């Protein structure tokens, strides 16, 4: 078991206000941050790992809830793939059903390689939003500057999420789903 602390500069989210699962669900390896809106067509699932990337995603969460032009994506927090595999099928299917996993991509402040267990296919990898998107070292600077350089700030993620959702039929056709 590894303990990780959130950096002091990161705001701890008001989970009740945002409709998020309890932080205790992190012990299950993954949990739902945002379910699909049931009144709109589903456009894919985002599997998010990392404090900085989750912070950027949470900045977008109110927009997902109020702006109907935002893609209708399910957002899953990925804590530990190994712990997630130990969960009962009923829980794992509720959080990330196989059909949702096939229609997903990842967001991480780490590297794509570190997210491979969560990636369902090469197609999912093509849409991954990770800090190593260009296979270069980040230049450094403030947290805000590094997130922007790594394309894991909320503006960059919104662009990537929109591209992922817009290309859904193309992605699924390539998977022959």
Strand, helix or coil for residue 104: strand
Contacting residues for 89 by C-beta, under 8 A, at least 6 apart: none
Q: What is the pLDDT of residue 6?
A: 59
> Which CATH code fits 15-175?
3.40.50.920
Q: What is the pLDDT of residue 156?
A: 97
Distance CA(110)–CA(173), nearest Å, equals: 29
Q: pLDDT tens for the chain, 177 residues: list them.
A: 666 665 657 778 888 888 888 888 999 999 999 999 999 999 999 999 998 999 999 999 999 989 999 999 999 999 999 999 999 999 999 999 999 999 999 999 999 999 999 999 999 999 999 999 998 888 888 888 999 999 999 999 999 999 999 999 999 999 885
What pLDDT shows up at residue 100? 97
**Burial category of 73 from C-beta neighbours within 10 Å (exposed 0-12, middle 13-18, buried 19 and up):** buried
Pairwise CA distance, residues 112 & 86, whole Å: 23
């Amino acid at each position: 078991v590894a303990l990780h602390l959130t950096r002091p500069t990161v705001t701890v989210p008001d989970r009740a206000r945002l409709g998020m699962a309890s932080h205790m669900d992190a012990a299950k390896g993954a949990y739902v941050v945002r379910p699909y809106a049931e009144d709109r067509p589903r456009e894919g699932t985002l599997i998010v790992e990392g404090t900085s990337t989750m912070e950027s995603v949470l900045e977008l969460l109110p927009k997902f809830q109020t702006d109907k032009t935002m893609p209708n994506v399910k957002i899953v927090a990925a804590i530990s793939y190994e712990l997630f595999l130990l969960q009962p099928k009923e829980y794992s299917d509720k959080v990330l059903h196989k059909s949702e996993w096939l229609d997903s991509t990842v967001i991480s402040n780490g590297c794509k390689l570190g997210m491979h267990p969560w990636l369902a296919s090469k197609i999912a990898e093509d849409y991954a939003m990770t800090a190593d998107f260009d296979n270069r070292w980040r230049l450094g600077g403030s947290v805000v500057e590094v997130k922007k350089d790594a394309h894991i700030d909320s503006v960059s993620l919104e662009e990537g999420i929109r591209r992922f959702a817009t290309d859904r039929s193309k992605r699924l056709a390539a998977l022959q789903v």
